Every structure is written in structure tokens, then in C-alpha cells.
Structure 1
Amino acid sequence: MSAIDRFRRFRAFARPVPMLAAIGAISVASIALAGDVARTDAAQVTGLLKIRLPKTEVTKVDCEKVEGLCEITAGANLFYVNHGARYLIIGRVYDMETRQDLTAARLLEINPDMLVGGAAKANAAAAAGPEEGGQEAPSAAAGANRVSLSTRPTTLNLASLPEAGAIVWGNKAAKQSVTVFTDFRCGYCRALTNVLREMDVRVVERPISVLGSRDIADRVYCSKNQEQALHAAYAGEPFKAPGACDTKGLDANERFAQAHGLSATPVIVRSDGAILEGYRPREFLEAWLKGAKS
């Protein structure tokens, strides 16, 4: 092989190297550019919100979490706007691939002790939206009642509730028992249910319709296997359609909740009547249940 032939072969072999390097450089530049765009959007949105919602103290703007939207944290409040900050979006964002309620996860991160019922105590915005002139972001989501923890009872007497209306599951022979008022469309109720499934506890679940879930509650309650149907409902999985049954017990749950101001879920009631509002992790619940007064 002549020196010229060897040189040509070397050039053919070596040619892709700078091409690969260029492609790599372009990829890195694209990633950096995307990050710069997101940061620019966040900065622009922050500036626009200062003009349009001057009385709202914005603590964080995240334009990278949800494609096409910016997540706005304002103290304990949470709402969304488009990247031009023209439209304020009220409600919850779900990731359908991971089946995660992104709004609920963020609200719990902001305030683990928050009482939740759909969009929670401070989930972002009222149905009417900001007043003309953009003065202040509203403090409670449409369909969720404003929560005032100071007016809530510290204990509940469940004696007036009939046996009907309760879905009993878990270890029915367990020494510890807990009653929970829940809603099948409540993300924190689902999370709490998953925690209780891991514990040695008898669960008396009493569904109430905070988020318009009465149709689901009826179907679960009327199922032959209520426990199986309950977990399927929380997971968003189909379960066998039951026949009609007497659901007056669920009506009693609703009346009790209304009479005692239980307008959001979950509400956890210990055997001695002590209550907790909102989701709690397993370690906390186990210690709290052991503290029940005899």
C-alpha cells in the first residue's frame, strides 16, 4: 500500500471524530439553551406577576416541571400560569405516565400539615380568579371550602354514626383501630390509604363527597368485595360494576361531616376520639395511635 493510500484510509477513519465532537457540542449547547430559556421564562413570569398580581408575594417560579406551564408558589398557595403569564390556571396537575398528582405532592412539600380536600386549604385560586386590575391571587381553589383549623374540633364522638356507611378493611382483628373520613378523588387520601395498608391496624373508612365522588363511593360501597373495590378506586383501576344497594349509611356520613365542619379530607379519628387532619407518614401514625387514651 502506497503512502498516499494509507493517508486516504487514515483520513476516512479520522473524519467522523470531529463530526461526533460537533454533534456532542451541539447537544450540550441545546441542553444549556433549554435551561437558559426556562430561566428566562421564570424571570419574565416573575416580573409579569409583580405587575398583574402586585399584592401576591411570589416565593418561587418553576417553568421546568410541567411542559408549557409555570408552577407558582406564593407562600402556602400554589397555582399555574402559562409562560406569558397571561392565563392563570386553577386546579390540579396530574402526570398520567407516573400516575402522580403533582399539585398534591408540591402542596405537601410546602406544608406537610396542610388539611387537604381536592385542591387543599391554599391551593391557589378562587373560581372567580383575580379581580380586574390584578390585585391578588385568590387563596382557595374552586370547589374547595376555605379551611380554618382553629374552628375545628380536637376530638370527635362517632357514637351517632350508624354501622352502615363504613367500609372496614385492613387487619380486622388488630388491637388498634382508626376511622378515616376520605374522598376517592383526594390525592392525600390515596397516599394515606397506602400507608395504612402497610400497618397492623383495623381501618374504618367513611367516604364523604368533598370533590364530587359520591358516584364512586356508591359503587365501592355496593361491591361484594368492598376492600378490593376501595383500593382499585384509589388506584384509578376498573372494578366490577356492582348492583344497587342501600347507601343511606353514606348519607349519614355526609350529614355527620357537614354537622362537624369536615369539609376537606382526609380526617383521621383515633379510638379515643382524637383527630388528625391531613396526610401523615407511617412512623407518625404508629406513634400517634399508641398514644390513645383508654
Structure 2
Amino acid sequence: MQKLALAAMLALFSAWAVAETGQELAVKKMIEPRLGPDAKVDSVTKTPYSGLYEVRVGSDILYTDEKAKYLFIGRIVDTKTYQDYTKARVDEVSRIKFADLPLASAMKVVKGNGKRVIAVFEDPNCGYCKRFDKTLQGIDNITVYTFLYNILSEDSVAKGRDIWCSADRSKAWDDWMLNGKVAPAAAASCTTPHEKVLELGKKLKVTGTPTIFFADGTRIPGAIDARGLEAKLATIK
């Protein structure tokens, strides 16, 4: 019932968006300079709740009134169903096309039948990534693509290069992330997709590690436990 209510609300949201284009453009023109000199508002859409206008800046969702006089920062939640409409919109605007990911630039591990698929952006010096990788040890029937998103330090770049250039990348990754065993130094001739992955992460607005992408294009920023991961995977057909 809650899912149907959410779907109905998003459908209503879309209908309002089409009907109010002129006013939305006016609100966008007013609100953008008030957010700061470097602000770039991607869209303004009238919502089905209380005459508010959704202001989207990247994957961030804010709200304002029709005169752009007030700015509302927070989540809109239905008091009857407790559906989080703001989260639903953030999930919608940050959704990717999983098939477009350059998976050749990631390390691949298949467990069991491998039918459930995720892609994870991780840094070798990320403590939360190490915790998530330990969680993955107990998850079966899954394919994991790991993008080495070396953003925490220059040492991350060096560690990532040594791991990528190892004879068995996945083993070298697990050795380091799970047991603290350093990979052998990479040969000078070895090249990595480091720059390509950095650009990909920026394009997808990956701002922290780990960031987990699922086959339906949705994402979860941060480490989650086994129960949370299984629950999320169960929702994907």
C-alpha cells in the first residue's frame, strides 16, 4: 500500500511539473542568484505538497516558495504513511544506467551463481570500505565490480596501482582490505584506469567511499551491514 501511495505521489508530481513550466522558470530565475555566485540550479519543479517548489542542485533537493523568499532544507515525509518523498526524489534523480558503467575498469568477483550484481567505488585507505568488504565475505550468489576510486590521499593512488597491477587483483585487494597485507610494488610499465575512474566518479557525483550501485541504477552511499544489503538486493528484480 505504501509503495502504491509513493508511486501515485510521484506520478502526481510529474503531472504538476508539466503544468507549471512557466512559473517554475520564474522561480528558478529568482532562486539561483540567491543560492550563491557559484550555484547552478538544474531544475525547479512545483510539488504536490503545500505549494512548495523543488529546487534541484545536482542530486541535492531543496524547497522554496513561489516568490523564492524562503528556502527549506530537509525532508518531506507523509505523516500517515511515513513515506519519505524527498528520499524518493533523490533516488530518482541520482539513478544511473548500470549497463553504461565501464566494468572493464573494475575488479570483478563472482560468488555462487553471481546473479545479483553490484558495483562499488572504494578507496584502499577507506576504513568503511574495509568494513563493507568484510560484510561481503558473508554474501553469496553475487557479482561484485570494484572501482578503485583513489580519492583519500596520494598513498591511495600508490596502493591502488600496486593492487591493480598484481597478478591476481581480487586476491591482492582482499589481502589488503581484509588482512592488511600490502601488494607487491607494481612494475613501472603497468598502467591503470585511475584517471578514468576518477572522471567517472565525478560524473556520477560519487563524493565518498564506499558508494554502492545496484543493477536497477540506485545507489547507497556508505557501508551497510549484511541485513541491509540483503534487504536491498531482494527489492531488485
Scaled by the length of structure 1, what TM-score is found?
A: 0.45
Q: Does 1:156 align with 2:99?
A: no
Task: State yes or no: 1:209 paired with 2:150.
Answer: yes
Structure 2 counterpart of 1:250, which letter?
A: H
**Partner Cα separation in structure 2 for residue 172 and residue 262 of structure 1:** 29
Equivalent pairs, count: 144
Contact 2:98 2:214 in 1 (8 A): no
Which of 165, 172, 179 is the matching residue for 1:229?
172
CA 1:179–1:163: 2 relative to 1, 3 Å: closer
Counterpart for residue 180 of structure 1: 120
1:267 maps to which of 195, 208, 211:
211
Q: Deviations over 1:3-31 (max 9, x none)?
A: xxxxxxxxxxxxxxxxxxxxxxxxxxxxx
> Is 1:251 aligned to 2:191, yes or no?
no
Matching of residues 58-207 of structure 1 within 5 Å: 153-171=93-111, 173-200=113-140, 201-207=142-148
> Which structure 1 segments of 5+ residues have no match?
1-148
Contact 1:191 1:279 in 2 (8 A): yes
- 1:171, distance to aligned residue in structure 2 (A): 1.1
**Equivalent residue number for residue 161 of structure 2:** 218
Q: Kindly tell me: are residues 202 and 262 of structure 1, through their superposed partners in 2, closer, same or farther at Cα, counting changes over 3 Å?
A: same
Cα distance per residue 1:68-94 (max 9 Å; x no partner): xxxxxxxxxxxxxxxxxxxxxxxxxxx
The 1-side partners of 2:206 and 2:99 are apart by 16
Question: Taking structure 2 as the reference length, what is the TM-score of the superposition?
Answer: 0.55
Residues 164, 251 of structure 1: alpha-carbon distance in 2 compared, 3 angstrom cutoff: farther
Partner of 2:182: 238
Unaligned runs of 5+ in 2: 1-86
Deviations 1:121-172 (A, max 9, x none): xxxxxxxxxxxxxxxxxxxxxxxxxxxx997853222444323320012417
Question: Take 1:226 and 1:285, find their aligned partners in 2: how far apart are those partners?
Answer: 24
1:92-121 deviation line (CA, Å, top 9, x unaligned): xxxxxxxxxxxxxxxxxxxxxxxxxxxxxx
Task: Kindly state the Cα deviation for residue 221 of structure 1 after the two structures are TM-superposed.
Answer: 0.9
Q: CA deviation at 1:231?
A: 1.3
SS of residue matched to 1:224: coil
Compute the RMSD of aligned alpha carbons: 2.2
Partner of 1:140: none
- The percent identity for this pair of structures is 25
Q: Secondary structure at the match of 1:206?
A: strand
